[in-house]
Structures are given as structure tokens and as C-alpha cells.
Amino acid sequence: MFIGLCFFALALYPLVGGRYGIDLVTKVMIFAVFALSLELLVGGTGLVCFGQSAFLGIGAYAAVLLSPQDAAASALWLAPACALAAALYALAVGLLSLRTRGVYFIMVTLAFAQMAYYVAHDTPLGGGTDGIYMTAKPTLGPMIDLDKPLVLYGFVLACLIIVFALLSLLLRSRFGHALAGIRVNEQRMRATGFSTFGYKLAAFVISGAIAGLAGFLFAVKDGYVNPELISWHVSGNVLIMIILGGIGQLRGAVIGAFAFALLQELFKSDAIFGDFAKHWQLGLGLTIIASVAVLPRGLAGLPRQFMNWRSRVAAGSRSSTESTADE
């Protein structure tokens, strides 16, 4: 119900939002798609991946490299192609990295992401540090041009809703229940006859494909890509988003993406913080630390935490009343 109201509000936002607001919300929705891809791994499977930016960057670079130089490509084939490119890289990475566990898995995925970063940074394929530009934005048909902000906004919103709905169905399916079992106790799942490696690899590839779709959307929105999209701090940022929103809940990934982006905009505001806005990372970091300490289940778990607090207060009040009556 809550997430439905959020999507409805996003659908109506262009009626009241200006050009800057539409551009900002479009960027945040793309980050939400990216965050959902990592939520499938961390919250759904228990795999903490620190190389998610590689799949995002591969999807973005594929969008530019596969686009014709003299005409606009159709997003109907370009978006799936970008997702497929990221999924293929995720398959290669998963086949090797999923043989490790814990911190070793984190470091191996980070190493593969850094490899992708240096390929884009140090070779002519990715245009070096300057990146490469998309000369013509894709279209959805002869009458729908994604170069228009409102059209792109609607397309990104549709992608976000579709990804959210598909992951919801996936996690409720037998496949999703198997992933939940692997997250809780992988050894017990193997003992009951499940091929946990195959399930984890499938989740890893699906996650990479969704991240590749987010990369395609970034390339279309900005019109260019550069190696910074693959850098390790992008993986760190998206991990913070799902922690801030609440791990283990799809809506937490969406809420965390919006919260993280809005906090960034808040602390960067000269009108509010003046000269301190130069040190916006400090304010953002302290706020995230405080949020994690106060909200262990993230922002998505705030209503339940509030209800638990009210229950404890009510129980304490009844106990105090009963004690007074006994006296």
C-alpha cells in the first residue's frame, strides 16, 4: 500500500515539479533501480557484493558503444542489450567469485570491478578519463524521444515499477524462498538437496542485468559515460542506500535511494549550511551513522519500530497502573 502511494506520487510529480526537480527525481529513480539490483544480492541472498558498479558501468558503456553514430537507436532493443552485456559479465564474475565466502567474496567482486574500471580508464575503448558521448538519444518509436525530460522521466518510472514488481514476484516464488534459505543457512540448504551455487549464480546474473539496465538509463539521461561510474565508491554509495533504507525489504532500497540523494542535496545547499556546504560529506556521514544507530532496521522499518515503542510504553503504563491499584 505504502509503496503504491509512493509510485502514484512519483507519477504525479511532473505536474508540480520544475525542470531541476524532474531531473533530480529521474536520477534518484535510476539509483533506486540500481539499489534494487544490490538488494536482491544482499537482502535476498546474503551476498555482500562490492563490485556492483562494474555492472552499472558496463550497461552504460554498452548503451553508448552500441548506439549508431548517425541515428537514434531504439530503446526497445538497446536496453535489453545493455542488460545482457552486464549479465554476461556478471556470469563470468559469479562463476569465479561465488566459490569464495565472506570477506573474500567482497574483495574478489571489488577486484573484478576495478578491472572493469581500468579497462574503461586506460584503453581507447572507454575514451579514457574523458569518457565517451552518446551522439543521439534512443527513442521508443517515431513519436517518443527520450531526449525530452518528461518522456525520460516516465520511461524511468516505468522501468522502476517493472523491476520492483518482477523482484517482488521473484522473491515470493520457490526460487525466492530458496534464496532466503541460502541467506539463513546455506549448509542446511545443501543438506536438503538444493544446488546452492546454481541459485546464487542465477541471483548474481539477474542482479547484474538489473544494474546494467540502470547503467543504460544513466547513459541516456546524461548523454555520456566516464570511468567514475565504475569506481568503487559508487558500489559503496549503493550499499549505503540499502542499509539506510533497510536491508531485506525491496521498498527499503527505493526509500534508501531517495533518502541518500535528498541528504546529499540538503548538505550541499549553500542557502541552508553556508560555508559548511563545502564539507557536505562530513554532515552526510554523521547523519548516516546516526540513522544506522537509531534505526537498525532502516527507514522502512521505522513504522514497526514506532509501533513496538508504543506497545512498550502502553505495557509500562498498564503495569504502573496495576501496581498502584494493588497498593
Residue 299 is predicted with a pLDDT of: 83
**Length of the chain, please?**
327
Mean pLDDT of 213-241: 91
Residue carrying C-alpha cell 539499489: 35
Report, as an integer, the average pLDDT of 153-163: 93
User: What integer pLDDT is reported at residue 31 of this predicted model?
Assistant: 94
Q: How confident is the model at residue 29 (pLDDT cuts 50, 70, 90)?
A: very high
Task: Tell me the pLDDT tens digit for each residue of 49-99.
Answer: 999 999 999 999 999 999 887 777 888 899 999 999 999 999 999 999 998
pLDDT at residue 293 in the model = 84
Q: What is the pLDDT of residue 213?
A: 96
Grid look-up 544507530 returns: 293
Task: Report d(CA 160, CA 22) in Å as an integer.
Answer: 15
pLDDT for 319: 63
Mean pLDDT of the chain: 87
| pLDDT of the residue at 168 | 94
> Cell 575503448 identifies what position?
125
139-141 and 132-133 strand pairing: unpaired
Domains of the chain: 2-321 (1.10.3470)
Determine the average pLDDT of the residues in 146-158: 89
Cα separation, 136 vs 88, in Å, equals: 26
Q: How many CB atoms lie within 10 A of CB 256?
A: 29
The amino acid at residue 318 is R
Q: What is the pLDDT of residues 268-321, one digit of tens each?
A: 887 777 777 788 888 888 888 888 888 888 888 777 777 777 777 777 666 666
Distance CA 249, CA 241 (A): 12
Q: What is the mean pLDDT of residues 234-241?
A: 91
pLDDT score at 325: 55
Categorize the per-residue pLDDT at 327 as very low, low, confident or very high, splitting at 50, 70 and 90.
low
Whether 326 shows a pLDDT value over 70: the answer reads: no
Higher pLDDT, 208 or 303: 208
Has residue 239 got a pLDDT over 80? yes
Q: How crowded is residue 185: how many other Cβ atoms within 10 Å of its Cβ?
A: 12
pLDDT digits (tens, 9 = 90+) for 102-139: 889 999 999 999 999 998 888 888 888 888 988 888 88
Provide the 3-class DSSP secondary structure of residue 144: strand
282 versus 217: the higher-pLDDT residue is 217
Question: Residue 181's pLDDT band (boundaries 50, 70, 90)?
Answer: very high
Q: What is the pLDDT of residue 321?
A: 62
DSSP 74: B
Helix, strand or coil, per DSSP, at residue 140: strand
**CA separation, residue 154 to residues 3, 195, 243, 311 (Å):** 17, 40, 27, 42
